[in-house]
Amino acid sequence: MGRRVRAAGADRHAVLVDDDSLFEDGPRCPRPVVAANQWLRELPTSGALSPNTWEAYARALRDWLVFLDERGVGAFEQRDRLHLAP
């Protein structure tokens, strides 16, 4: 599934959005971008104060999630499954 990075809100915070613009696959079934966006929102409190840093981190995270999707591996698979990915 494709993902894009958008700037959202007055602070231009980076947000990951799936191509279908959904954040969950059903009730109580959030997609990985939900956890990714939560982490991105916490960057300023972790010392990453620049919007340029937020965008760079968002793009790197997006690329990682796309890489995993292309190999049929979920973002929250067990460690062994991530190691076995082609």
Q: Residue 85 corresponds to which tokens in the numbers above? A: 């990915």
Rounded CA-CA distance 8/85 in Å is 33
Phi and psi angles of residue 28, each rounded to the nearest 5 degrees, phi first: 60, 30
Average pLDDT over residues 41-61: 89
SS3 65: helix
| Angle at the Cα of 79 from the Cα atoms of 55 and 36, rounded to 5 degrees | 25
Indicate if the pLDDT at residue 2 is higher than 80.
no
pLDDT band, residue 7 (cuts 50/70/90): low
Average pLDDT for residues 73-81, to the nearest whole number? 82
* CA–CA separation, 15 and 37 (whole Å): 6
Q: Residue 84 has what pLDDT?
A: 75
